[in-house]
Structures are given as structure tokens and as C-alpha cells.
């Protein structure tokens, strides 16, 4: 009998320890990732109960959220940040967990370093106390964000009780136009399906657009699955996946790698795989996309204007009004031409080397507008090093961008990088919630790194296709 299971269900079935009376399954977690914000209380729970970490070698720790990207001397100026740093250092030491500390050149944002080091592999179950864990699904793994008490459960038992989500295949076919990036695809899907559209689902991203994407682009899309409400997102492993992992320090080496690769490829959903739902989009309909509101679903193509309130369903209208008021925008206002104060390229969505290259390509030979404060924050120390080897730091600095050290930075501003007052920020990150970037009244426009760089130079939202040579040709 042919196996019509999709990848999600295959990987899930491979990790069921037992079915629980509650109707949930106890799932073995192959890889656990932790950072300084959501782990201290979890370790405390273990201590309170006299428990050990069951498989310390299956947990990898890094520091990212609270890391200052300018002055990194210890103790940090912020007492709470210093406390979190000391806690993770002490906990990893005491429980025997590898920590990528600030003085380790592998440190960076958790969802950047996992894939970069080859820790993230197809067919795995991966958990982390962080919502953007969905990023790792780009490799064909089940990767889910969990809460702090679940972090404690994984540390103590390497398992979690979980309910199996449904699986929706999100297919995008055709070819993306010049200047249209993975970020635009992610924002387009969320705009179409809504920020709650994925609740109860895992998203399988499939179709020619994802088939031809690099691993870094795939990570950008999977990263934002959670912003569409999905429990996780993934892409079936293929030769692109295998080639990316080969030779990375935590990946199997030699003959073991070839064997693993064969297994990884065998997990991919076949042509008769079954789904609970399927949606199909056309790449030609996607243009550079910009959010105008206070959730990632409130976006428009850069050539569009913001819709009128009554073009939305009745249930949505109050939210649309609230967003327009907070953002100080009008119905029918074009998004193009909106004046910005700050530009931020970075985060686990778009802080990889390919993102920095695209931003640099747009910035090269230009100057950041006088009224704009612009930051480039590599997602990891390795990304930073690579960028410096390629001379991208010089391009950015000559153009008037600040070149920073690796961390989450202004994505959520749990560190000194913050908006102030009503500042409006063009940002390559993933969340535009009220106050997300550090000032309760600060405002965020999400877009691709190339669009952020173009906005930094123009001082306002522009269409990157009109200011830079088309890419991908």
C-alpha cells in the first residue's frame, strides 16, 4: 500500500513515544534550543524538584534578545539583562549544556545559529521557548515554539504532550518578479489567510516558488508561519537542503552524511500525499509588500493604497480603524511616500548574509537620508564576519548606516536599540505590534531588507524596483 502521509505526519509518527489518555501524544523532542529570556524559570523549576536535564547534549543554548549591539562590556548597563546573562551562564554550566556565549564566535539569534551550525536537520522535532522556532521547519523538521513550563518539561524529560495539528498545503507557483523576495511571499500569504488563518494547522509551503528558493529564503518564509497563526511551517527537504547542511559542524560527516541525506529525502511528501486543506497562489500576483497596520496581516503591495474600512469584513472593521488611528494613516492613502524616521535590517526573519547582501546592493553608492537613523544588525557573529569579509560593512558605513554586533536588536528592543516616541520604522523584522520596537507609541512598517535599505536612502517608503537594478537576472 502506498504511503500517502505528508512529511509532517511522517515525522510526527516517528516521534510518538505513546498516546496519552488526554488524547494528546507524548512526542520525543530531538533537539532543544534555549535562550536567556525563557529559560531561567525553567531551570528553577528543575532545581525546585531536584531534577536533572535528561539529555544535556540535545540542548543548545545561545544569547540573543538582551545583547547590546554596541557596547558589550560586562556587567551590562541594564541590570535585568545582566541578570538574565548570568543566569543562563550559570544554568548551562551547572546542567552541562553547551552555551554559545558572547565570547563564542558561533553566538547569534537562536533561529540563525541552529541552521548555520548544522544543528537543524530534516526529520527532527525541534522545540524552543520562542515563537519563531517555526524557522527551522525550512529544513523539513517539525519545529515549534513552546512556553517556559514546556521548556522545563523538555529539559527534564526530552518529551512534550502535544495535539496533532491539521496540515494545510500552501502552494505558490510561477516565478517571483524582480525585487520580490521571500519576505514578500510570507507577507502575501498572511494577508490572504489572515493572522488567525493558520490556527490549528501546520503549513506545508510547496510549489515552484519554494522549490527554487535558497535555504535562507525558505527560512524567512517558515519564520513567519507563526505570524499567520500556524503552529509551525515547513518545506520538504530536497537537494538544496542537503547541499546546505553538508559540511556544517554539527551535521553528520562522511558516509554517515550520505546515509542521513538519503533518509531526509525519503521523508518528503509524495505526489499523492494527503492534506486537510490546500490553497494555491500565483507568484505573479505578489509585489514588494509593506505592512501599514499593527499586525503582520495588515499589508499592501507597494503600489497599492491602504484600503477603505468598509472594504473589510464587519468583524475586521474595528481592528482596521484602531490600526489606522495608531499608525496615523488615512483610508486610501498610498503606502509609497510615507516618511520614515528609522530603518532596521536584522532579526531572525531577515538577518542572514543574503539579506545583508541585498540591502548592501541597494545602499551602495548612496547616502541614508539626513533625518533617518539606520541600523544593520547581523543575525549572528558568523554572518557579521562573512559580511565583513565581503566588505559589506564598508558599503553600509559609507552610506551612513550603523554597523552593529549580532543580536535581536530592534526587532523587539529588549536591549538598548529602541524607537523613541512616535518614530516610524521601516523594519525587516516580523512583528509590527503596538510598541514592539521599544517605544509604546513607536510604529513599524514590515518589509524586505532591500525595501528597508531603499527607504533609508529615500527617507520614505519607495518601490525598490524603481530605485535599484532588478535582482535575480
Per-residue mark of binding to ligand IPM, 48-67 (x: CB under 6 A): -----------------x--
In the bound state with ligand IPM, the residue whose beta carbon lies nearer, of 37 and 251, is 37
Which letter, b or e, does each residue of 162-192 get, where b requires 16 or more Cβ atoms within 10 Å of its Cβ? Answer: bebbebbbbbbeeebbebbbbbbbbbbbbbe
| Dihedral sign of CA atoms 381, 58, 238, 269 in order | negative
Comparing CB distances to ligand SF4, the nearer of 109 and 117 is: 109
Query: Is 128 one of the annotated binding-site residues?
Result: no
Place of cell 521523508: 267
From ligand SF4, ligand IPM, none, interface partner of 38 (C-beta below 5 to 8 A by class): ligand IPM
Cell of 305: 493604497
For residue 12, the SS3 value is helix
Q: For ligand SF4, which is the closer residue by CB, 130 or 358?
A: 130
Ligand-binding site membership of 411 (annotated): yes
Looking at the Cβ atoms of 242 and 414, the one nearer to ligand IPM is 414
d(CA 266, CA 84): 42
- Is residue 403 classed as helix, strand or coil in its secondary structure? strand
In the shown chain, the binding pattern of residues 395 to 424 toward ligand IPM, with x for contact by CB under 6 A and - for none, equals -----------------x------------
Report the run of H or E that residue 227 belongs to, with start and end: none
Sign of the Cα pseudo-torsion (336, 337, 338, 342, in order):
positive
- Smallest distance from ligand SF4 to CB 348, Å: 3
Which of 261, 293, 456, 430 is CA-nearest to residue 351?
Answer: 430
Return the number of the residue (82 or 211) whose C-beta is nearest ligand IPM.
82
Q: Is 451 in the site for ligand SF4 (CB under 6 A)?
A: no
Could you tell me the sign of the dihedral formed by the alpha carbons of 126, 128, 131, 136, in that order?
negative
Number of amino acids touching ligand SF4 (CB under 6 A): 13
Helix (H, G, I), strand (E, B) or coil at 426: strand
Buried b (16+ CB within 10 A) or exposed e, 91-116: bbeebebebbebeeebbbbbbbbbbb
Q: Is 277 helix (H, G, I), strand (E, B) or coil?
A: strand
Q: Is the CB of 182 or the CB of 462 nearer to ligand SF4? A: 182
Is position 366 an interface residue for ligand IPM (rule: CB under 6 A)? no
Question: Rounded to whole angstroms, how far apart are CA atoms 353 and 276?
Answer: 36
Alpha-carbon dihedral 288, 283, 352, 453, rounded to 10 degrees: -10
Distance (Å, whole) CA 23 – CA 295: 33
Site for ligand IPM in 127-156 (CB under 6 A): 130-132, 145
- With CB under 6 A as the contact rule, the residue among 289, 291, 430, 448 that binds ligand SF4 is 430
| Bridge partners, 335 (sequence order) | none
Write out the three cell numbers for 39.
529559560
CA 405 to chain centre: 18
Q: Which does 37 bind (CB under 5 to 8 A by kind): ligand IPM, ligand SF4, none?
A: ligand IPM
Q: Which of 10, 32, 65, 465 touches ligand SF4 (CB under 6 A)?
A: 65
CB of residue 41 to ligand IPM, shortest distance in Å: 12
CB-nearer residue toward ligand SF4: 151 or 399: 151
- Closest approach, Cβ 186 to ligand SF4, in A, equals 13
Task: Kindly indicate which of the ranges 75-83, 162-170, 363-371, 408-416 contains the residues binding ligand SF4, using the contact rule CB under 6 A.
Answer: 408-416
Our CB check for ligand SF4 shows the closer of 269 and 432 to be 432
Of 411, 426, 445, 464, the residue at the interface with ligand SF4 (CB under 6 A) is 411
Q: Indicate whether 109 belongs to the interface with ligand SF4 (CB under 6 A).
A: yes
Residue 37 interacts with ligand IPM (CB under 6 A)?
A: yes
Give me the residues that bind ligand IPM (CB under 6 A), please: 37-38, 65, 130-132, 145, 412
Q: Mark the binding-site residues for [4Fe-4S] cluster, compressed into ranges.
A: 348, 408, 411
Q: Mark the binding-site residues, compressed into ranges.
A: 348, 408, 411
Give me the residues that bind ligand SF4 (CB under 6 A), please: 64-65, 109, 111, 130, 132, 347-348, 408, 411-412, 429-430
Amino acid at each position: 500500500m502506498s504511503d500517502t502521509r505528508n512529511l509532517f505526519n511522517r515525522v510526527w509518527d516517528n516521534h510518538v513515544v505513546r498516546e496519552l489518555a488526554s488524547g494528546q501524544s507524548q512526542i520525543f523532542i530531538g533537539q532543544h534550543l534555549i535562550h536567556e529570556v525563557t529559560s531561567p524559570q525553567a531551570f528553577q523549576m528543575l532545581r525546585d524538584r531536584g531534577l536533572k536535564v535528561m539529555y544535556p547534549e540535545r540542548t543548545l543554548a545561545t544569547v540573543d534578545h538582551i545583547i547590546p549591539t554596541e557596547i558589550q562590556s560586562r556587567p551590562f548597563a541594564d541590570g535585568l539583562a545582566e541578570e538574565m546573562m548570568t543566569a543562563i551562564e550559570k544554568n548551562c554550566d551547572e546542567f552541562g549544556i553547551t552555551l554559545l556565549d558572547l565570547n563564542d564566535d558561533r553566538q547569534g539569534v537562536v533561529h540563525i545559529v541552529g541552521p548555520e551550525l548544522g544543528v537543524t536537520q530534516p526529520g527532527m522535532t525541534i522545540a524552543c521557548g520562542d515563537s519563531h522556532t517555526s524557522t527551522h521547519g525550512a529544513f523539513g523538521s517539525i519545529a515549534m515554539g513552546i512556553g517556559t513550563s514546556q521548556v522545563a518539561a523538555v529539559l527534564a524529560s526530552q518529551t512534550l504532550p502535544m495535539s496533532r495539528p491539521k496540515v494545510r498545503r500552501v502552494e505558490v507557483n510561477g516565478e517571483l518578479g524582480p525585487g520580490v523576495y521571500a519576505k514578500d511571499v510570507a507577507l502575501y500569504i498572511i494577508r490572504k489567510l489572515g493572522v488567525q488563518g493558520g490556527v490549528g494547522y501546520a503549513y506545508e509551503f510547496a510549489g515552484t516558488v519554494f522549490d527554487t528558493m535558497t535555504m535562507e529564503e525558505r527560512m524567512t518564509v517558515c519564520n513567519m508561519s507563526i505570524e499567520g497563526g500556524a503552529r509551525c511551517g515547513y518545506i520538504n527537504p530536497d537537494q538544496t537542503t542537503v547541499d546546505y547542511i553538508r559540511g556544517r559542524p554539527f551535521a553528520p560527516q562522511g558516509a554517515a552524511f550520505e546515509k542521513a541525506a538519503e533518509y531526509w529525502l525519503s521523508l518528503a511528501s509524495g505526489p499523492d500525499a494527503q492534506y486537510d486543506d490546500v490553497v494555491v497562489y500565483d507568484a505573479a500576483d505578489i509585489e514588494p509588500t509593506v505592512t501599514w497596520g499593527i499586525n503582520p496581516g495588515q499589508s499592501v503591495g507597494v503600489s497599492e493604497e491602504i484600503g477603505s474600512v468598509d472594504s473589510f469584513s464587519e468583524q475586521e472593521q474595528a481592528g482596521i480603524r484602531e490600526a489606522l488611528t495608531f499608525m496615523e494613516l488615512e483610508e486610501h492613502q498610498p503606502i509609497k511616500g510615507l516618511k520614515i524616521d528609522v530603518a532596521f535590517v536584522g532579526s531572525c526573519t531577515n538577518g542572514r548574509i543574503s539579506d545583508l547582501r541585498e540591502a548592501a546592493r541597494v545602499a551602495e553608492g548612496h547616502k541614508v537620508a539626513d533625518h533617518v537613523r539606520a541600523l544593520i544588525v547581523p543575525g549572528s557573529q558568523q554572518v557579521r564576519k562573512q559580511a565583513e569579509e565581503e566588505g559589506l560593512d564598508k558599503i553600509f558605513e559609507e552610506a551612513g548606516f550603523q554597523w552593529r554586533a549580532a543580536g535581536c536588536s530592534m526587532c523587539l528592543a529588549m536591549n538598548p536599540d529602541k524607537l523613541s516616541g512616535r518614530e516610524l520604522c521601516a523594519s525587516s523584522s516580523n512583528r509590527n505590534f503596538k510598541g514592539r520596537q521599544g517605544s509604546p507609541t513607536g510604529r513599524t512598517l514590515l518589509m524586505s531588507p532591500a525595501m528597508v535599505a531603499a527607504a533609508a536612502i529615500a527617507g520614505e517608503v519607495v518601490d525598490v524596483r524603481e530605485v535599484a537594478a532588478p535582482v535575480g537576472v
